[in-house]
Structure 1
Amino acid sequence: MTLRDVTLRDGLQLTGKLLPTERKVRLVRSLLDAGVPELEIGSLARPDLVPPMANSLELIAALTEEELDRCWVWVATPRHVEKAIAAGARHFQYCFSVSDAHNNANIGRDTETSIAAMPAAVDLAHAAGGSIQLCLATSFTCPFDGPVDADRVLEIACDPRTDGAADIVLADTLGQAVPGQVAELVSRVRAESPGRRIVYHGHDTWGLGVANSLAAVSAGASVVDGALAGLGGCPFAPGASGNTATEDLLFATRPQWLSPEVFADLVRLGEDLAAELDEPNRARATQGARSEAAAFEWVLRS
């Protein structure tokens, strides 16, 4: 399993505070230096609608090619891809919603229009020597229409116009899914759609973020998304809360690159960021790491 940290995009977009580019660069480098394999670092969403993303292009331009090789950028149109390429990005998450109602609220068009534009986005990404993901928001429920039919998710995943995507991201935008649902959808996508890496993007609204992520991995997902301190949520999805915490996912899965010392550094990084943003720290593993169980190696010593 690979962790992708999405603090710098989904984690920040609901905070209402624009971090300076230099601060974002430090965050990127701290996460990469810790060993986090992949990051989502920004969005080409309209800055008047999502102000914390306003300097995403500046952040991309400030990073090295080697750093950008491990970073993804959220896009919703071919024009977004063009702008991100000009800044230096090479990996793109082309996102739209399975639900028309949420796609209209989030991107300003219906789902069919987003699908129809995807081949042009794919061509641009590939011409730049990059890769692109198919990201399906509201893969489980929609804040406006309720439950989302899994058959519709599979219809989009198998649509020839989404060919060329290296990965498919299944997003539980509202955090309302339960492990059985997640496992079933991931299994179906793996069995019925073109062979590609499956990414699970969960939220912890109902306290099932880690459980759902583990269910996704057991069913065939190879990447899960998380954000430091459980920050984040969708500004266009009433009822959405923070992402599954990176700290919680790492404590649960303990990848080979994670040591108690690296975990401690990431806990402190999440604590500092949450305090800087005046946001609550929702990571349960951070609470554990600050406990008095001193004999446990994952507890922080200071």
Structure 2
Amino acid sequence: MSTDGVVLRDVTLRDGLQLTGTPLPTDRKVGLVRALLGAGVPELEIGSLARGDLVPPLADTLDVVAALTPDELERCWVWVATPRHVQKAVAAGARNVQYCFSVSDAHNNANIGRDTAVSLDAMPQAVEYARAAGGRIQLCLATAFTCPFDGPVDPDRVVEIVADPRTAGSCDVVVCDTLGQANPAEVGSLVGRVAAVADGRRVVFHGHDTWGQGVANALAAVQNGATVLDGALGGLGGCPFAPGASGNTAGEDLLFALRPDWLTPAVLADLVTWSEDLLAELGEPMRSATARGVRSNAQAFPWTAGPRRDRTDDGQ
């Protein structure tokens, strides 16, 4: 299986932060955006237009957008759920929006307060607003495999939505294993079917590692047509409206599996350091196996950096 051309999108600052109890200051978010982009991470998800009272860690998303340059925003995505969200995002300077709704009505109502059909009906207007601003818009399908309230989701329904003319204006299709309960066979099957009807749109796989299948599922998605994978530093994240979901698949683990040209042992060590600092700041556990591997003492393996030392420990 070739992973050439497969892109990581870091979702730390949206899906990663939305369940955290400790707020991250806006300037800290902006600094992390710039560090990740500077390291070579191709794309980032930097926030959400969800109501600030419901998802407080993301209430400053428009401030983050306003602080970034146009060139930086070309590589960043903002989560939206309504045409009005699109208007607000592009007015603030966002170039790329991820229009998200759930395949299951129960989760869509819990997450954004409306039936799936209502979100689908509104998508052409969202597309129009994004295009009028010269931006791009993704179709993002949450609970594509399992709904936390209704159980397994019919894959035929996912394929029908992707093929629906109302979603045709999107540039990408994001297939989400919101609960992290899918296995590689299920992911490969659904992603393959989605790719077959995507009509030239990129297929993005957004996975969670609840049952330890995150990297395996991501590679199954790639094998069946996905060219973008979502991941968060240290496996941070989860959905506040999806009981039973744990963190995202760790970006470090996806990168170690993919080995893109821009990833060097030194860059990976930097990513692990940033992840450690962020998770400590937020009081969150480290879920990345690669991060643990980087800190090992296996000196003959070029991807290890050894145990972390404070700057004062090495005389600096």
**TM-score, normalised on structure 1?**
0.99
Question: 8 Å contact 2:231–2:250 — kept in the other structure?
Answer: yes
SS at match of 1:183: helix
Question: 8 Å contact 1:18–1:54 — kept in the other structure?
Answer: no
Matched, 1:170 2:170: no
Question: 8 Å contact 1:139–1:173 — kept in the other structure?
Answer: yes
1:237 is displaced (CA, Å) by 0.2
Matched, 1:179 2:184: yes
Q: Distance in 2 between matches of 1:85 and 1:24?
A: 19
1:60 is displaced (CA, Å) by 0.2
SS at match of 1:194: coil
1:169 is displaced (CA, Å) by 0.1
Q: Distance in 1 between matches of 2:24 and 2:197?
A: 41
Question: 8 Å contact 1:17–1:51 — kept in the other structure?
Answer: no
Partner of 2:122: 117
1:58 is displaced (CA, Å) by 0.2
SS at match of 1:23: helix
Matched, 1:205 2:238: no
Structure 1, unaligned runs of 5 or more: none
Matched, 1:137 2:142: yes
Please point out which of 42, 54, 59 is paired with 2:64: 59
Q: What amino acid does structure 1 have at the position aligned with 2:58? A: M
Question: 8 Å contact 1:42–1:53 — kept in the other structure?
Answer: yes
Deviations 1:34-79 (A, max 9, x none): 0000000000000000000010000000000000000000000011
Matched, 1:257 2:262: yes
Matched, 1:102 2:99: no
1:195 is displaced (CA, Å) by 2.4
Question: 8 Å contact 1:210–1:248 — kept in the other structure?
Answer: yes
Instruction: Map 1:5-16 onto structure 2 (within 5 A).
Output: 5-16=10-21
Please point out which of 220, 240, 249 is paired with 1:244: 249
| Aligned alpha-carbon RMSD (Å) | 0.7
Matched, 1:282 2:287: yes
Deviations 1:69-100 (A, max 9, x none): 00000000011011111110010000000000
Deviations 1:248-290 (A, max 9, x none): 0011111000000000000000000000000001001011111
Partner of 1:268: 273
Partner of 2:92: 87
1:17 is displaced (CA, Å) by 2.3
SS at match of 2:249: coil
Q: What amino acid does structure 2 have at the position aligned with 1:53? A: L
1:149 is displaced (CA, Å) by 0.4
1:291 is displaced (CA, Å) by 1.1
Matched, 1:19 2:24: yes
Distance 1:193 1:67, change over 3 A: closer
Q: Distance in 2 between matches of 1:132 and 1:192?
A: 18
Q: What amino acid does structure 2 have at the position aligned with 1:79? A: R
Deviations 1:218-243 (A, max 9, x none): 10100000000100000000000000
Partner of 2:153: 148
Q: What amino acid does structure 2 have at the position aligned with 1:219? A: N
Q: Distance in 2 between matches of 1:193 and 1:295?
A: 44
Query: What is the identity percentage for the equivalent residue pairs of Structure 1 and Structure 2?
Result: 72
Question: 8 Å contact 1:264–1:300 — kept in the other structure?
Answer: yes
Q: Distance in 2 between matches of 1:98 and 1:291?
A: 42
Partner of 1:46: 51
Q: Distance in 2 between matches of 1:85 and 1:192?
A: 28
Q: Distance in 2 between matches of 1:146 and 1:136?
A: 16
Partner of 1:227: 232
Corresponding residue pairs, total: 302
1:18 is displaced (CA, Å) by 2.0
Instruction: Map 1:19-38 onto structure 2 (within 5 A).
Output: 19-38=24-43
Q: What amino acid does structure 2 have at the position aligned with 1:126? A: R
1:190 is displaced (CA, Å) by 1.2
SS at match of 1:96: strand
Question: 8 Å contact 2:171–2:201 — kept in the other structure?
Answer: yes
